[in-house]
């Protein structure tokens, strides 16, 4: 019950008679993490725990306890859910029981709610290898908690059909029993119908009962509900074909694209066209820089502006490089200072800390010091220190790539 009873503060983690390099790094990261706004500080603590997990699991667990204690009071359910799921993803490798306790702290899906962090959390628990009896017990606990929409509920039924056919009827009966028939959403009804179809040839009567349950009152939802529940896939912007085009034609084509694609294509012209003079390169770089404020807030804009600041500096135009660095600093502060809603909530599947981490990896890989770009930001410093920690522990990181 260590998660439910008195989650300890992250104090005194790095005390030793003669602090090692790891101790000193952890002390600095801790000092920043506790002073960051919640959505950044919690992210820092989770990342530090993930770095420590393979080398010092006990210490990693204590960092996760600290992150949990900060995430639980968050009012916004989406933000709280995403953090707790990220914590569970680390915890399940260290302490499966504690991981499930954290999932159980999430509320059941409210009637009409589009999100179901509880189901998503329990879904992650199934990825830990366990016996068939252990999986059956977890399935029952997940259903009892209200995680009917977990995709692994269907996965459990599939495994029962293929590997334990003598038990599949009993397992499906348990799933039907866990169906929230009183306030089931269209998505939950589809989930049950899908599973009923899996078992209809083997257990036709049970499947028919499940279909009847799923279809009851299904038409009560208002028009457009199905569309609202389906997440639209945002397809990446396709680069137009440029083969055979002369440089002026490529630049003209780039100017017709959406801002992020325009910047990417102009960068490719700068880096790939050897016949361009230095004044031409500077002019193209500055043109691209003026487009960057139109790029949606996030790592795409930050990396674009830092790339262009670096290009202008390398091209020898210090004045324009200084303008680029100032734009970058303003973008960074606009996205991540504590006057914005991002201090306590965020939208999407990843926290603002993910964007800052991507940016830190970009700077480190390209050997750029934040000070060279006019950046002074403690959350960026924390993630650079985590990269130092990974290096000190001998943990290899994949190469960062953007464009």
**Which one is predicted more confidently, 242 or 120?**
120
CA distance 3 to 148: 24
17 Cβ contact list (under 8 Å, min separation 6): none
pLDDT at residue 133, as a whole number: 95
| pLDDT tens-digit map of 41-77 | 999 999 999 999 999 999 999 999 999 999 999 999 9
CA distance 273 to 162: 58
- For the chain, the average pLDDT equals 85
User: What pTM was computed for the model?
Assistant: 0.76
52 Cβ contact list (under 8 Å, min separation 6): 59, 60, 63, 389, 393
String of b and e for 325-354 (b: at least 16 CB within 10 Å)? bebbbebbeebbeeeeebbebbeeeebbbb
DSSP structure string for 223-285: TTHHHHHSPPP-PPPPPPP-TT--HHHHHHHHTTS-HHHHHHHHHHHHHH-TT--HHHHHHHH
| pLDDT tens-digit map of 256-287 | 999 999 999 999 999 888 889 999 999 999 99
**Percentage, residues of the chain above pLDDT 90:** 54
Band of pLDDT at residue 341, cut at 50, 70 and 90: low
pLDDT at residue 221, as a whole number: 43
pLDDT mean over 345-359:
82
- CB neighbourhood size of 101 (10 A): 17
**Which one is predicted more confidently, 118 or 356?**
118
* Residue where the block lists tokens 């003026």: 290
CA distance 98 to 212: 38
pLDDT mean over 313-337:
83
Select the highest-mean-pLDDT range: 26-40, 171-185, 320-334, 336-350: 26-40
Q: Is the pLDDT of residue 4 over 90?
A: no
153 Cβ contact list (under 8 Å, min separation 6): 139, 142, 143, 147, 175, 178, 191, 195
Select the highest-mean-pLDDT range: 144-153, 179-188, 371-380: 144-153
CA distance 144 to 175: 10
pLDDT at residue 236, as a whole number: 44
DSSP 292: G
pLDDT at residue 217, as a whole number: 67
pLDDT mean over 313-339:
81
Point out the least confidently predicted range of 315-324, 329-338, 343-352: 329-338
Contact 364, 384 (CB under 8 A): yes
Q: Is the pLDDT of residue 398 over 80?
A: no
pLDDT at residue 230, as a whole number: 39
Contact 167, 178 (CB under 8 A): no
The closest of 402, 360, 296 to 43, measured between CA atoms, is 360
pLDDT at residue 228, as a whole number: 41
pLDDT mean over 364-390:
88
Band of pLDDT at residue 31, cut at 50, 70 and 90: very high
| pLDDT tens-digit map of 204-263 | 999 999 999 998 865 444 434 443 433 333 334 578 888 888 889 999 999 999 999 999
| pLDDT tens-digit map of 142-171 | 999 999 999 999 999 999 999 999 999 999
């Amino acid at each position: 019950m260590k998660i439910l009873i008195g989650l300890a503060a992250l104090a005194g983690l790095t005390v030793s008679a003669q602090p090692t390099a790891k101790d000193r790094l952890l002390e600095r990261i801790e000092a920043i993490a506790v002073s960051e706004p919640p959505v950044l500080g919690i992210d820092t603590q989770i990342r530090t725990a993930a770095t420590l997990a393979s080398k010092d699991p006990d210490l990693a667990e204590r960092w996760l306890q600290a992150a949990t204690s900060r995430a639980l009071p968050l009012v916004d359910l989406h933000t709280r859910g995403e953090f707790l799921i990220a914590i569970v993803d680390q915890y399940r490798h260290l302490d499966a029981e504690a991981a499930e306790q954290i999932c159980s702290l999430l509320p059941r899906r409210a009637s009409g709610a589009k999100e179901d962090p509880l189901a998503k959390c329990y879904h992650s628990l199934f990825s830990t290898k366990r016996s068939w009896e252990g999986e059956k017990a977890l399935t029952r606990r997940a259903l009892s908690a209200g995680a009917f929409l977990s995709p692994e509920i269907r996965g459990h039924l599939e495994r029962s059909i293929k590997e334990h056919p003598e038990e599949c009827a009993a397992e499906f009966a348990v799933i039907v029993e866990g169906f929230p028939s009183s306030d089931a959403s269209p998505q939950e009804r589809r989930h049950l119908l899908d599973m009923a179809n899996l078992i209809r040839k083997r257990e036709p009567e049970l499947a028919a009962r499940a279909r009847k349950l799923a279809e009851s009152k299904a038409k009560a939802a208002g028009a457009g509900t199905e569309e609202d529940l389906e997440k639209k896939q945002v397809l990446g912007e396709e680069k137009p074909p440029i083969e055979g085009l002369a440089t002026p034609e490529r630049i003209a084509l780039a100017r017709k694209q959406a801002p992020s694609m325009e910047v990417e294509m102009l960068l490719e012209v700068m880096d790939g066209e050897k016949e361009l003079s230095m004044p031409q390169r500077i002019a193209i770089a500055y043109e691209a820089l003026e487009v960057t404020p139109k790029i949606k807030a996030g790592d795409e804009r930050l990396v674009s502006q830092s790339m262009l600041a670096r290009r202008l500096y390398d091209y020898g135009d210090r004045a324009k490089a200084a303008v680029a660095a100032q734009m970058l600093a303003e973008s960074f502060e606009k996205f991540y200072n504590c006057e914005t809603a991002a201090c306590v909530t965020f939208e999407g599947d990843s926290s603002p800390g993910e964007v800052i981490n991507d940016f830190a990896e970009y700077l480190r890989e390209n050997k750029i010091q934040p000070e060279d770009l006019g950046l002074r930001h403690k959350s960026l410093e924390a993630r650079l220190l985590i990269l130092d920690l990974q290096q000190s522990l001998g943990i290899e990181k994949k190469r960062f790539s953007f464009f």
